[in-house]
Structures are given as structure tokens and as C-alpha cells.
Homo-oligomer: A and B are copies of this chain.
Amino acid sequence: MDELSRTDRSTLRRLPQRGVYDLATVHSILDEGLICHVGFVVDGQPYVIPTIHVRVGEELFFHGSPASRMLRALEQGVEVCVTVTVVDGLVLARSAFHHSMNYRSVVVFGTALPVASTEEKLRVLRALSDHLIKGRWQEVRSPAPHELKGTLVLALPINEASAKVRTGPPIDDEDDYGLPVWAGVLPLKMAAAEPVADPRLSEDVAPPAYLTGYAGPGPAD
């Protein structure tokens, strides 16, 4: 399956030219996103909660404490809408009206299921770590049995999803192109600063290479 089938809720209505339904694009945005926003409904009230995620194959995984209001709701099999947004830049037009933003976003609809097996939980947590900071998992203490037991992992299939993408320069009204005002794109990117050592870290432990050259999240595999 290279292309996601479209449903009413996953089909873009406004600016349909920005809609993208191919799996490779959807996956790459999910892989590049540092956080997602999970939407769900409790007693008619919408909640939108930020959390981290990882895509493995055609599933999106979340984790957290079994006491989390969000995970408890999701575990009941309620409908969710998970959105990952990567902002790429500010688009500066010659008119106020045509200002915009370059971005890539994905919306995934469906219901999540808890991951029961300890082995699969461990695989997912490792993938989450690899997605965020490749190389970290091998160096740290692995989860103890009681930590794994105290971690709820949920899986959401990525089969009803769409991406929305805007790229490129501003599109101005033809009459405005002659105005003497700067126009173009200001590219934006999440950037890492110098690592800050834990006050209790021994001075002979240097920051690892995967931090000094950190370029953001990537595919877990």
C-alpha cells in the first residue's frame, strides 16, 4: 500500500492542493516530528494533549503512566485524532493578507489498543529512544520489570491519515509584486544548543557524539 485510502474525515476540503496521501510522506513527517498532539473526547469535551510518539511500520505508538488521563481514555478504545506538525518557515508576502507558513502536518484518525506483551513494549520503547536520539538506548540502564509493568504502551494503526504540506515562496497578488518590500521565506528549524550536564554528573563523562551533532528525531529503524 503506497497510498492511503481517503475517508470523509481524512480528506482535505480547504486548499485540497496541499493534501498528500502517500504513505512515504506521511511516514517521513511522523518520523521527523518531536512531539504530537493527541485529541480525544471525554463526555463530549475535547482534550488535546502533547506527547511523544514513534512510528514503527504502519503503527504509531504512545506511552506513559497507566494513571495518565489521556492514556486511560485511549485505552478504552475512544476515537482519537493525532496531529504531528513540523514548521519549516515563515512565508513573508508583500501584503499582510498573503502571509503564510511553510509546514508539514499529518493527521491520523482511529482507535488505539494497549500493547500487552512485555517483549513488544520493550521493542517499542527502544524504537522511541532510537527515534528521538539514535545511540542512546545502548548506553543507559534498560527498563526493569517493574518499570515496564508501570508503563502503558498504546498502538494506533496508521491506515486513516493525511498529510498537508506547504512549501515555497509567497504567492502575492500580481499588482503587489512591484512593492518595495522584502518578500520570501524565513526558514525555521528546531536546533540544539550545548548540552547541559546534570549537576551530579562526574566530570570525566563527556557529552556523547549523538548530542553534539544532534539533528532532531528520525526514523526508528
Contact = CB atoms under 8 A, between A and B. Distances in A.
B85 A14 contact: no
A195 B177 CA distance: 18
Contacts of A41: 41, 44, 46
A41 B47 CA distance: 10
Contact of A195 (B34, B44, B142, B186): B186
B44 A38 contact: no
A9 to B, nearest CB: 6
Copies in the complex: 2
B197 A187 contact: no
Interface residues of A, number: 91
Given A125-B96, A177-B200, A79 B205 contact: no
Given A87-B190, A97-B143, A137-B96, A45 B81 contact: yes
A105 interface: yes
Given A143-B97, A190-B190, A182 B196 contact: no
Given A87-B190, A94-B140, A97-B143, A38 B34 contact: no
Contact of A192 (B82, B137, B186, B214): B186
Interface in A93-126: 93-97, 99, 101, 103, 105, 107, 109, 125
A13 B42 CA distance: 15
A19 interface: no
A2 interface: no
Interface string A59-75: 00000010111000000
16 contacts: A34-B87, A35-B87, A35-B101, A38-B48, A40-B46, A45-B81, A48-B107, A95-B140, A95-B142, A96-B137, A140-B181, A184-B196, A185-B198, A186-B192, A186-B214, A187-B195
Of all A-B residue pairs in the complex, the 3 with the closest CB atoms, nearest first, are A39-B48, A191-B191, A37-B37
Interface of A: 9, 13-14, 34-35, 37-41, 44-50, 52, 65, 67-69, 79-83, 85, 87, 89-90, 92-97, 99, 101, 103, 105, 107, 109, 125, 129, 132-133, 136-137, 139-144, 147, 151, 169-170, 176-177, 179-202, 205-208, 211, 214
